[in-house]
Amino acid sequence: MSSYKLPSELISMIIDYLHDDAPTLKTCALVSRDWVAPSRFHLLHSIHLCQNGVDEFLSLCDSPLSTIQRANTHLFQVSTLLYVFGMPEDQQFYHSPALDRLLTWRSSDGQRALATVLSRLRILALDWIGWWTLSQSAKENLAEFEFLRELRTWNVEFESWVQFSALLGSFPKLEVLTVSGGHFRRREGASNVEDPSVAMTLPPRLHTISMENLDDRGIAVIDALLPCHSLRIFHFHVIQFSDFGFACGAAIGKLLASAGPSLEVFSAQVQAAGSLIGGINMNARFQLVDFTKNTRLQRISLDIEEDELVLPFLQRLTNTTIHSEPFVPTLQSLEIKYLPRLSINWETLDVLLQHPYFSALSELKYTVVAFFGETDVVGQPGYLVEKVNEGSDAHKTMLKKVEEFGARLPLCRARGILRPEECYHWLERFSPDDDSDRGTNDNAGGTPFAW
């Protein structure tokens, strides 16, 4: 049968073509030994393990026939969120020993550990982990993932900022950090950057930080990242800028200031019930996030539906020129997702965007929404469409909305920087009497812009 053996290059081409077809890849892995490794390269590119699958996974790793080590796994995710019936309460969720067992495991011959099985791991994702469940040896073994470049944590609890600092210190080549939820159990554990005895050193290559689902308990996590001189990309998502807004805004402001000129990309998503929450003005919180020391910003993205935040935010950007002599404009892209539905003074915005700070701006991006029905997608399968039929009523409505909104910013339109993103919503998902998503958008003395 050797005369019928395919060249390895051809096998790789066949399997690479099937990279997103898991059932077929599983069949390919059964063809012959030569097909196993390239098939599993795609099948095991990402592994998501819950606490009830640890025993089976470790047994597979311990098998002499195991090919996981040859799979070049790129992402490994460990979750203890899953409720396992019959498991003692003190071993559920945050208290699960699953991660400790994985990190302290050794093969029967003593030659392999998790880090050798996943020797090319680039991304480690940890969900619902209580850091107190890890033994000292497990924490030390984290450093064995020498190729790790990205860490993602979701609802991971630390007893203090010291544990969080030690985790980051385990990965000296870390470049990307995403923290969603999670907090320190001891409030006094937050770092005090003024106290040299608690100073920490972040991985020197850490250039991207994303803070998701921030609330009052997550503020200390931001404090623990100070200072970060290598920060180039920063994103934060606040569920509500209310009672903890001052502390959150101040923490983010300090983080951005520590980055200085290295910061290139900033994006923010702020969700709130209104500009005044419990009598507290949101702008008073948001204004603590300023960019006076970030003189080389290239892209800004704002996912904000609050009318009172956008103009003051943009006006504060122009203050950067005061601290930069000579000033060199660097901002190339500005995205304000909900811009058309905001109620602001469009003339003021149009003039403001002609300020020298925005002179290098090549695109102002925003989303324009129109609704469509069956008659607008005749001949297309289903209703999950990105574009309606050209010439349909929905298409004509979209063109009209794009034109009407462009007329609100004549100076920006003359520069050719307006970049509307067309977004179509299925009409029957909304009640005819519900204008919450369609609404009207009145500015000071302007013409209503219908949605």
**Which pLDDT score, from 0 to 100, does residue 335 have?**
98
For range 30-35, the mean pLDDT? 83
Which stretch of 65-79, 252-266, 281-295, 343-357 has the lowest confidence by average pLDDT?
Answer: 281-295
156 in any annotated domain: yes
For residues 391 and 395, give the distance between their C-alpha atoms in angstroms, rounded to a whole number: 6
All residues at 6 or more sequence positions from 190 whose CB lies less than 8 Å from its CB, including other chains: 161, 184, 219, 220, 223, 224
SS3 for the chain is CHHHCCCHHHHHHHHHHCCCCHHHHHHHCCCCHHHHHHHHHHHCCEEEEEHHHHHHHHHHHHCCCCCHHHCCCCEEEEECCCCCCCCCHHHCHHHCCHHHHHHHCECCCCCCEHHHHCCCCCEEEEECCEHHHCCHHHHHHHHHCCCCCEEEEECCEECCHHHHHHHHHCCCCCCEEEEECCEECCHHHCCCCCCHHHCCCCCCCCCEEEEEEECHHHHHHHHCCCCCCCCCEEEEEECCCCCCHHHHHHHHHHHHHHHHHHCCEEEEEECCCCCEECCEEHHHHHCCCCCCCCCCCCEEEEEECCHHHHHHHHHHHHHHHHHCCCCCCCCCEEEECCHHHCCCCHHHHHHHCCCHHHCCCCEEEEEEEEEECHHHCCCCCCCCCCCCCCCCHHHHHHHHHHHHHHCCCHHHHHHCCEEEEEEEEEHHHCCCCCCCCCCCCCCCCCCCCCC
Quick: pLDDT tens for 106-151: 999 999 999 999 999 999 999 999 999 999 999 999 999 999 999 9
What range defines the domain where residue 336 resides? 45-368
Q: Are residues 37 and 66 in the same domain?
A: no
390 in any annotated domain: no
Q: Are residues 167 and 69 in the same domain?
A: yes
Q: Are residues 90 and 113 in the same domain?
A: yes
**Which pLDDT score, from 0 to 100, does residue 319 have?**
81
Q: Are residues 350 and 261 in the same domain?
A: yes
- Where residue 190 sits, what CATH number does that domain have? 3.80.10
Residue type, 244: F
Q: Are residues 8 and 145 in the same domain?
A: no
Residue 139 C-alpha from the chain's centroid: 26
CB 230 within 8 A of CB 199: no
| Residue 241 pLDDT class (50, 70, 90 cuts) | low
107 in any annotated domain: yes
CB 124 within 8 A of CB 152: yes
DSSP, res 389 = P
pLDDT at 288 over 60: yes
Q: Are residues 23 and 66 in the same domain?
A: no
Q: Are residues 131 and 58 in the same domain?
A: yes
Q: Is the model more confident about 322 or about 40?
A: 40
Could you tell me which of 162, 270, 261 has the C-alpha nearest to residue 214? 270
Total count of domains within the chain: 2
Domain boundary among 313, 333, 368: 368
241 DSSP β-pair partners? none
The CB density around residue 395, as the number of other CB atoms within 10 Å, is 18
Task: Calculate the average pLDDT of the chain.
Answer: 83
Q: Are residues 114 and 140 in the same domain?
A: yes
